[in-house]
């Protein structure tokens, strides 16, 4: 039996990016029960990809009760619906086998990962204060993509002079703006920039200088995306909700690595249940951004453990 419920998690504070602000994370929780065992997965439908809570829920409810992970890969396209069901099936398989999911996948036991922490978009003064509060963290991520990006970036660097910084432009720049900003990103020690140009309008990345690594986010969903990235990107950001689950995310990681791309593993704003399978994908990645639960005011039972800079592998009571 497959069941799906809509759940809401309050955020610790208003979270703002260039596309808007939110005060809560709306997720779908999938449960797959067979016999005495139940597996769980979570997804975050994302409007940028044409997804809604209602539409994704309908996709999941339309699946046959006995569907397998193998059949699922062709039954649904990459996206949030397939992700939640795929991860629930992994969890179910682990529980039925009495083994951890990584062992079933042929992977070594996962280690703790250094994760970025995302600062909400705000005034330069507010972002400097937030950076100072979190300056003990090894990696900070800032969401840009506005006409006032440089004062914000300068403020974050002033507030956290020793942290590594990731910049996510959220498709907010054009080639001219990026060429102008890139030397300043280098000067301020930015480690990488995510998706500076809109997906589908990023050809100029193959023609302009890339003085720091450029990571594909909205331009990279699953393995089929890789063919369109050559010469434009240095890294790919793998998210389970884009790839359509752990099964595809692991395959994408292996193919991208084989093609010479650096690996980043990211997330939507969701609970520990959504992050847990992504910890497996993040093993060995050059950059990890699995901070969703750190932005929440409430989380699942048996949540992931975070310390000042790391996220730890999930307990079996949570997932896998």
Question: What's the pLDDT tens digit per position in 157-197?
Answer: 999 999 999 999 888 888 888 988 999 999 999 999 999 99
pTM for this entry:
0.95
Burial class (CB in 10 A: 0-12, 13-18, 19+), 45: buried
Q: Which helix (H) or strand (E) holds 82?
A: helix 80-97
**Cα separation of 79 and 134, whole Å?**
32
Q: Residue 239 catalytic?
A: yes
Label residue 220 by pLDDT band (50, 70, 90): very high
Higher-confidence residue: 156 or 209?
A: 156
Does the structure show a pLDDT above 70 at 19? no
17: pLDDT strictly greater than 90: no
User: What value does the mean pLDDT take over residues 129-149?
Assistant: 91
Task: Compute the distance between CA of residue 165 and CA of residue 168 in angstroms, rounded to an integer.
Answer: 10
From CA 298, how far away is CA 220, in angstroms rounded? 30
Q: Rounded CA gap, 247 and 208, in Å? A: 35
pLDDT(243) > 80: yes
Catalytic residue among 95, 141, 232, 239: 239
Catalytic residue (choose from 95, 143, 232, 242) = 143
Distance in Å from the first CA to the final CA of the chain: 19
Q: How many CB atoms lie within 10 A of CB 35?
A: 7
Q: Mark whether 141 is an active-site residue.
A: no
Give CA–CA dist 241/199, Å, rounded.
Answer: 17
Average pLDDT over the chain, rounded to an integer: 95
pLDDT confidence tier of residue 18, bands split at 50, 70 and 90: low
Q: Return the pLDDT at 122.
A: 87
Q: Give the CA angle between residues 187, 289, 274 to the nearest 5°.
A: 165
């Amino acid at each position: 039996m497959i069941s799906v419920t809509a759940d809401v998690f309050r955020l610790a504070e208003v979270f703002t990016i260039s596309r808007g602000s939110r005060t809560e994370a709306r997720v779908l929780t999938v449960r797959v029960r067979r016999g005495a065992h139940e597996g769980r997965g979570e997804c975050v439908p994302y409007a940028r990809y044409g997804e809604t809570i209602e539409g994704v829920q309908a996709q999941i409810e339309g699946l046959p009760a006995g569907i397998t992970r193998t059949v699922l890969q062709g039954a649904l396209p990459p996206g949030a619906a397939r992700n939640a069901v795929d991860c629930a099936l992994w969890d179910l398989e682990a529980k039925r086998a009495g083994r951890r999911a990584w062992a079933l996948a042929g992977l070594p036991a996962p280690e703790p990962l250094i994760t970025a922490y995302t600062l909400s978009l705000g005034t330069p003064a507010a972002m400097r204060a937030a950076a100072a509060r979190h300056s003990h963290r090894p990696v900070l991520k800032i969401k840009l993509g506005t006409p006032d990006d440089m004062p914000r970036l300068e403020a974050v660097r002033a507030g956290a002079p020793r942290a590594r910084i990731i910049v996510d432009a959220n498709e907010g720049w054009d080639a001219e703006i990026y060429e102008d900003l890139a030397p300043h990103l280098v000067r301020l020690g930015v480690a990488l920039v995510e998706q500076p140009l809109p997906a589908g309008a990023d050809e100029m990345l193959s023609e302009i200088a890339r003085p720091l690594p450029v990571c594909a986010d909205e331009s990279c969903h699953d393995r089929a995306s890789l063919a369109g990235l050559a010469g434009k990107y240095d890294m790919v950001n793998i998210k389970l909700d884009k790839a359509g689950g752990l099964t595809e995310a692991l395959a994408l990681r292996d193919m991208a690595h084989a093609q010479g791309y650096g690996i980043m593993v990211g997330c939507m704003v969701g609970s520990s249940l959504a992050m847990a399978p992504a910890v497996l994908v993040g093993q060995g990645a050059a950059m990890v951004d699995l901070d969703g639960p750190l932005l929440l005011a409430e989380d699942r039972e048996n949540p992931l453990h975070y310390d000042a800079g790391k996220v730890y592998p999930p307990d079996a009571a949570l997932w896998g």
